[in-house]
Amino acid sequence: MQLDRLVNFHKTVGDKTRLRIIGLLKEGPLHGQAIAGKLGLTPPTISHHITKLKEIDVIVQRRDKNTIYYHLNERKLSLLASAITKLGDEEMNTEFQVSDEEKLKVLSNFFDDNGQLKSIPAQLKKRLIVLEHIIKGLEPGKSYPEPKINEHIKKYHEDFATIRREFIMHHFMTRDKGYYELNPRELWLI
Amino acid sequence: MQLDRLVNFHKTVGDKTRLRIIGLLKEGPLHGQAIAGKLGLTPPTISHHITKLKEIDVIVQRRDKNTIYYHLNERKLSLLASAITKLGDEEMNTEFQVSDEEKLKVLSNFFDDNGQLKSIPAQLKKRLIVLEHIIKGLEPGKSYPEPKINEHIKKYHEDFATIRREFIMHHFMTRDKGYYELNPRELWLI
DNA sequence: AATCTAATTAGATTATTATCTAATAAGGGG
DNA sequence: CCCCTTATTAGATAATAATCTAATTAGATT
């Protein structure tokens, strides 16, 4: 983590309009015109701010027909926000990317020899690794009815409801009228 | 916590020079010329930045003869840094000031009827409340030899070494050649 | 009082940036 | 293929702010 990146994060976020956008997107994704309307600004202005927020990775987007929906990446936001308290620490360099080794280690700790999840990790970082592993068995672009999703999760752990909820909460998938679909990888919080 | 204050925090901290100052002060207090020297900038420039950092409460100062030492308030820094992840939450409004009621509640939980500290709180916020209570029996401006400090702490808890260390760590007091002295209240992290 | 040191203020320069209007691009649907 | 909607780019304007030099203030010591 280089200093300039941290400077840029705070510079970007140190703007009333952009903080208001972040506040809005915490409630859920919105498209450009909707944001412009809610903030009383013009679409080009929003475009300008969204570009900056995307540059620091706290916003990702998903297209639906003509409309682009902007999502807040809360995990990135929180990692970047706390970096300032770790200025100079060694830890600073490692926290932003989870290495493959680390993932393997967590997976081997939480799954038994039959591939069953022994318990749901309490720590967010580890929980995301486990969720990523489970969701990999599903197909991108395909639409699944709820029972299919439950069935898939039950292959790993009996508490399918909790895990299904986590999938939604951390933007691994989207639910629409009882059907579930994987989100594009950029929306995953890992 | 109003939005403008948060904007101002990030705007202030979103500057390379100011982040470098924060990084330097994490190692310990420094005076203006020292900072200017280490960063290769002129004293007026440092003065300018220090003023801004004081405005957001992240730096406090202490005068010694002609020289002013600037200290980093790490607790404020970390509270402000994490505020962005709580945008819109109710919690945002409460976290910044510890109310007297809350202090009383913590004190009655951690001290027994004879005024003895039952245990050292693990949670930082509570530990600071307890430390503040214990240090109140000492006199500002007076210089104490180490045994006097130990004796004072032992009236509350047997583990005087740990508590004495916490006093230093959280800037309640300063040690100089085996003598201890209370810091001015503005340096306390509570 | 005179002097030394450290800090701050004043004023100027230069660079950055938030916002707008107008124009253009991109993608879908009739 | 033309029209509609949404998003982006271009260009202009006005405001903010980082840094410097020079001048001033503040405290302490001789």
pLDDT higher at A73 or B187? A73
B154–chain A nearest CA distance, Å: 33
Side-by-side strand order, sheet with A143-145: A143-145, A179-182, A173-176
Beta-bridge mates of residue A60: A71
Flag whether residue B92 sits within 8 Å of chain A, measured between CB atoms.
no
Asked, for residue A43, whether it belongs to a domain, the answer is yes
Asked, for residue B38, whether it belongs to a domain, the answer is yes
- Nearest chain B residue to A84 by CA: give it: B81
Handedness of CA A14, A15, A19, A21 (dihedral sign): negative
Do the Cβ atoms of B14 and A4 come within 8 Å? no
A29–chain B nearest CA distance, Å: 16
Among partner residues B14, B77, B81, which is closest to A14 by beta-carbon distance?
B14
Supply the pLDDT for residue B94: 47
Report protein residues in contact with nucleic acid strand D, where contact means CB under 7 Å: A 31-33, 43-44, 47-48, 50-51, 66-68; B 11, 15-17, 41-42, 44-45, 48-49, 52, 63, 65-66
Supply the pLDDT for residue B171: 80
CATH number at residue A30: 1.10.10.10
Same domain, A66 and A116: no
CATH number at residue A177: 1.10.10
H/E stretch holding B73 = none
Same domain, A71 and A136: no
Supply the pLDDT for residue A100: 85
DSSP B78-123: HHHHHHGGGTT-SGGGTTTS--HHHHHHHHHHHB-TTS-B-S--SS
Closest CA to B47 of B61, B36, B60: B36
Q: What is the dihedral of CA B93, B95, B96, B102, to 10 degrees?
A: 110
Do the Cβ atoms of B23 and A74 come within 8 Å? no
pLDDT of A9 over the 50 cut: yes
Same domain, B52 and B92: no
Flag whether residue B16 sits within 8 Å of chain A, measured between CB atoms.
yes
Same domain, A104 and A167: yes
Taking the C1' atom of every nucleotide in all shown strands and the CA of B15, the nearest one is D18
Distance CA B34, CA B32 (A): 5
Are the C-beta atoms of A157 and A120 separated by less than 8 Å?
yes
Measured between beta carbons, the chain A residues lying within 8 angstroms of B59 are none
Distance CA A51, CA A115 (A): 42
- Nearest chain B residue to A81 by CA: give it: B81
pLDDT of A187 over the 80 cut: no
Give the domain-ending residue among A43, A76, A109.
A76
Q: Which domain holds residue B150?
A: 88-187
Flag whether residue A5 sits within 8 Å of chain B, measured between CB atoms.
no
Strand D nucleotides within a 7 Å radius of protein CB atoms = 5-11, 17-23, 26-29
Look up tokens 């998903």; give the residue. A62
DSSP A38-106: HHT--HHHHHHHHHHHHHTTSEEEEEETTEEEEEE-HHHHHHHHHHGGGTT-SGGGTTTS--HHHHHHH
Question: Average pLDDT of chain A?
Answer: 88
Same domain, B115 and B68: no
Among partner residues B16, B23, B81, which is closest to A81 by beta-carbon distance?
B81
Same domain, B94 and B183: yes
Supply the pLDDT for residue B90: 57
pLDDT of A114 over the 80 cut: yes
Distance B37 CA to C11 C1' (A): 24
Same domain, B116 and B182: yes
Same domain, A95 and A71: no
Same domain, A67 and A116: no
Asked, for residue B82, whether it belongs to a domain, the answer is no
Give the domain-ending residue among B34, B53, B76.
B76
pLDDT of A160 over the 60 cut: yes
pLDDT of A20 over the 70 cut: yes
pLDDT interval class at A143 (50, 70, 90) = confident
Flag whether residue A154 sits within 8 Å of chain B, measured between CB atoms.
no
Q: Which residue is nearest to nucleotide C7 (CA to C1')?
A: B47
Report the range out of A18-22, A120-124, A164-168 with the highest average pLDDT. Answer: A18-22
Supply the pLDDT for residue B97: 64
Asked, for residue A81, whether it belongs to a domain, the answer is no
- A–B interface: beta-carbon pairs under 8 A: 83
Same domain, B92 and B176: yes
Distance A15 CA to D15 C1' (A): 14
pLDDT interval class at A90 (50, 70, 90) = low
Distance CA B103, CA B126 (A): 8
DSSP A8-27: HHHHHHSSHHHHHHHHHHHT
Cβ atoms < 10 Å from Cβ of A83: 20
Asked, for residue B65, whether it belongs to a domain, the answer is yes
The pLDDT > 90 percentage for chain A reads 58
Q: Which residue is nearest to nucleotide C22 (CA to C1')?
A: A44
Determine the residue type at A101: E
B151–chain A nearest CA distance, Å: 35
Asked, for residue B83, whether it belongs to a domain, the answer is no
Supply the pLDDT for residue B91: 53
Same domain, A61 and A123: no
Supply the pLDDT for residue B65: 85
Distance CA A107, CA A124 (A): 14
* Token pair of A106 as six digits: 């967590």
pLDDT interval class at A181 (50, 70, 90) = confident
Taking the C1' atom of every nucleotide in all shown strands and the CA of B18, the nearest one is D18
Do the Cβ atoms of B14 and A16 come within 8 Å? no
Are the C-beta atoms of B59 and B50 separated by less than 8 Å?
yes
Beta-bridge mates of residue B176: B179
H/E stretch holding B39 = helix B32-39
Pick out chain B residues at pLDDT < 70: 1, 89-97, 186, 190
Give the domain-ending residue among B42, B76, B110.
B76
- Nearest chain A residue to B76 by CA: give it: A85
| Mean pLDDT for the stretch of residues A152-157 | 95
Distance CA B12, CA A47 (A): 24
Same domain, A52 and A98: no
Asked, for residue A83, whether it belongs to a domain, the answer is no
Based on the structure, what is the number of domains in chain B? 2
Asked, for residue B25, whether it belongs to a domain, the answer is yes
pLDDT of A159 over the 80 cut: yes
C-alpha separations of A2 from A7, A96, A138, A190, B142 in Å: 9, 12, 37, 20, 44
Closest CA to A3 of B107, B23, B57, B30: B23
Q: Which residues are CB-contacts of A139 (< 8 A; sequence separation ≥ 6)?
A: A182
Distance CA B120, CA B117 (A): 7
Supply the pLDDT for residue A172: 86
Percent of chain B as helix, strand, coil, to the nearest 5: 55, 15, 30
